[in-house]
Amino acid sequence: MKCRVLVIDDEPSIGRSLTRVLGDRGDEVFYEANGQDGLKRLEAVRPHLVILDVKLPDGSGLDLIARIQHVEPSAQIIVITAFGDTKAAVLAMKRGACDFLRKPYDLDELLLAVETAEKSFVREAQLTSYQEKDRSAYDRNELLWECGEMAKVWDLVRKVARSDATSVLITGESGTGKELVARAVHFESERRDAPFMELNCASFQENLLENELFGHERGAFTGASGLKRGLVELSDGGTLFLDEVGEMPIQTQSKLLRFLETRSFKRVGGNVDIGIDVRIVAATNVDLVERIESGAFRNDLLYRLKVVSIPLPLLRDRGEDVILLAEHFLRRFSHELRNDFEKISDEAKEALQSYAWPGNVRELRNLIERIVLIEDDVVLQLEHLPEEIAQRSSTPGANRVTEPDAFRTLREIEDEYIVEVLDHCEGNKSQTARILGLSRQGLLDRLKRLKDSGVAADARPSRAPLTGSRSDFPS
């Protein structure tokens, strides 16, 4: 990428040197000898990178940092300080500079700093693009409901969005819509124009997770060739969504707790506290109290996270919302995939309403998308549904009133389904976890509980085996 670089330094020899060196590597370089002219050039050329001397004829370069960020918020700033002026370097970093160099600087060191800064500019420009897509893609109409429990959820979302609450905990099974609710908390708030960043805590090993959250300083570890801003820092002014927070390693939990208490952090390898204004929205599909009892989660962190708690109901407990959502997804995917589906037959509605939906809204969404993609019709018929859903409607006496003691508990149904999917995947736990919408550790915890309760995890289920393609199941 060809970058525009603005050099503001009162030494013409430095200006000429940087213009030549950076020009040779393909950058477009502009030079000014004082702060006032530098700001005028800044507005004219909108640089990607500013190399700024601290001591200028018309004032301190440190005072220009905020004005540079106001004019061009995405510009990276490298500050040049006098040798030994550590105080100025620290202050520059606190004010938002991405790096600093001491005079006389080493040419290789300068080029490395410039290369790292330009990569940061590209990365943050991409993040800005993603945020704009997130903003345009957010649609409150995805939060559809008629049931009272979801009305309570939406009322709570709006109250939280308008409040100053800095920590929110969303709980619910996989597929219930935790990410959608997290986005609603952000985009319905005054933070909507600031970043919405997300991180799946189960996707990283402990050292990598800390690095993703808090970033690192140059030289913090082998391979850390430049400064990296973490997601906490990149979310400044906005919202950071921590999915599957129950899977966060215990050491990282300690660092997150400190951040929640102080609203400041240090990058890995750094010694400067950085203050940040960010709302943390965490989500979990596991029982955090059970995790606390097993020593896998900190009790004090739980209470820091659940300043406000938003529990999400299961789809099977939302009554007519099943049909409301199914019709919404049918319209959406018919439009996106240019198909002609217009409605759902009464028989198919009955089957959809009778199904237990272990994968919740995600499973329903995936099912409707698959049907619209592969079927050619205007009405979604019973025969379009997978056998395990369709047979709910066709089984004789399926809708008869049953004696209370003949019902199984939801936990028993879930346990049977987990065993069934594990058998379907021939014991592959990673694939089973993906289908169920669980983390691998979450699945292992459920299987351990099954084993401890005397249920064989490898036992074949008593009901009919799964049929249809694996896209029928939640991903």
**Domain 4-130 fold:** Rossmann fold (3.40.50)
pLDDT in tens, the chain (475 residues): 678 999 999 999 888 989 999 998 889 999 999 999 999 999 999 999 999 999 899 999 999 999 998 888 888 999 988 766 778 888 888 888 888 888 888 888 888 888 888 877 877 766 666 666 665 556 565 677 788 889 899 999 999 999 989 999 999 999 999 999 999 999 999 998 888 999 999 988 888 999 999 999 888 888 787 788 899 998 999 999 999 999 999 999 999 999 999 999 999 998 888 999 999 999 999 999 999 999 999 999 999 999 999 999 999 999 999 999 999 999 999 999 998 899 999 999 999 999 999 999 999 999 999 999 999 999 999 999 999 898 865 544 444 344 445 456 667 778 888 888 888 888 888 888 878 877 777 788 788 777 776 655 544 444 434 444 333 333 3
Collapsed DSSP state (helix, strand, coil) of residue 417:
helix
Contacts of 18 (CB under 8 A, 6+ apart): 5, 7, 9, 29, 31, 51, 110
CA distances from 391 to 121, 353, 396, 403, 463 (A): 55, 12, 9, 21, 12
140-197 pLDDT tens trace: 656 777 888 898 999 999 999 999 899 999 999 999 999 999 999 999 999 988 889 9
Query: Using an 8 Å Cβ cutoff, are 172 and 303 in contact?
Result: no
Q: For the whole model, what pTM was predicted? A: 0.62
> Which pLDDT value is given to residue 128?
64
CB atoms closer than 10 angstroms to residue 381: 15
Residue-level pLDDT at 53: 92
Residues 6+ apart with CB under 8 A from 304: 167, 257, 260, 261
Give the span between the Cα atoms of 423 and 421, in whole angstroms.
Answer: 5
pLDDT tens digit string along 105-156? 888 888 888 888 887 787 776 666 666 666 555 656 567 778 888 989 999 9
The β-bridge relationship of strands 274-275 and 264-265 is antiparallel
The DSSP element (H or E) to which 441 belongs, if any, is helix 440-452
Alpha-carbon span 432 to 419, nearest angstrom? 9
Q: Structurally, what CATH architecture does the domain formed by 316-394 represent?
A: Orthogonal Bundle (1.10)
* 102 beta partners: 81
Second-level CATH architecture of 149-311: 3-Layer(aba) Sandwich (3.40)
